[in-house]
């Protein structure tokens, strides 16, 4: 009887393992919720309503998201494309960068490492010594600037795409 029990245990473990493999195979296709756009394997949405940086982050959180982090220039151009497609041209827009915890130490609110940057010339300048939030589409270059977090601007949220 003992042997049978061991055999059954091993057999059920094998069944579990093969079940897991099937799940892994299906993970190759991803999807975003309605009205979210898939860019580089993540889901983005443009929020037109002007809000402070913190209110914009809170709004993203309410949708299971964070203010957008940006990984490379191609992703940045695609995020600019989202704003353009929404009819907001190259409007200044909040994304998830902030140095509120420590001046000149920039972090993304989604917890990912801030490696790629696209600062405008002479930015971030921490003008008036209280510029702690990252706006995109700044100046003629439509690049990044640090500005006062209390300013009300549209925003872009990001969240992970889900297995279909």
Interacting residues toward Ca ion by CB under 5 A: 99, 103, 125-127, 131-132, 145-146
How far is Cα 125 from Cα 1, in angstroms, rounded to an integer? 76
**In the complex, residue closest to Ca ion by CB:** 126
- Beta strands 93-98 and 107-108 are antiparallel
Q: Looking at beta carbons only, is 45 or 56 nearer to Ca ion?
A: 56
Q: Looking at beta carbons only, is 92 or 132 nearer to Ca ion?
A: 132
Closest distance to Ca ion from the beta carbon of 33 (Å): 34
For residue 110, the cross-strand partners are none
> In this structure, are residues 133 and 146 in contact, taking their beta carbons and an 8 Å threshold?
yes
Closest distance to Ca ion from the beta carbon of 131 (Å): 5
Closest distance to Ca ion from the beta carbon of 115 (Å): 19
Q: Looking at beta carbons only, is 110 or 132 nearer to Ca ion?
A: 132
- Annotate 76-136 with DSSP letters as a single string: HHHHHHHHHHTT-TT--EEEEEE-SSSTT--EETTS-------BPTT----GGG---EEEE
Q: Looking at beta carbons only, is 93 or 131 nearer to Ca ion?
A: 131
Closest distance to Ca ion from the beta carbon of 133 (Å): 9
Q: Looking at beta carbons only, is 29 or 128 nearer to Ca ion?
A: 128
Which residues neighbour 65 within 8 Å (Cβ) at sequence distance 6 or greater? Answer: 43, 45, 157, 158, 159
Closest distance to Ca ion from the beta carbon of 43 (Å): 29
Phi–psi pair at 37, nearest 5 degrees = -110, 135
């Amino acid at each position: 009887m003992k042997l049978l029990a061991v055999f059954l245990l091993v057999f059920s473990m094998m069944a579990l393992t093969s079940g897991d493999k099937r799940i892994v195979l299906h993970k190759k296709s991803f999807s975003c919720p309605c009205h979210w756009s898939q860019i580089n394997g993540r889901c983005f949405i443009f929020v037109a309503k002007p809000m402070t940086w913190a209110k914009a982050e809170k709004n993203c959180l309410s949708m299971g998201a964070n203010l957008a982090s940006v990984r490379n220039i191609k992703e940045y151009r695609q995020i600019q494309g989202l704003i353009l497609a929404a009819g907001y041209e190259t409007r200044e827009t909040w994304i998830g960068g902030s140095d509120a915890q420590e001046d000149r130490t920039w972090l993304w609110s989604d917890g990912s490492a801030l490696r790629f940057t696209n600062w405008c010339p002479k930015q971030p300048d921490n003008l008036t010594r209280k510029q702690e939030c990252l706006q995109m589409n700044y100046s003629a270059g439509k690049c990044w600037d640090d500005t006062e977090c209390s300013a009300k601007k549209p925003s872009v949220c990001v969240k992970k795409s889900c297995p279909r």
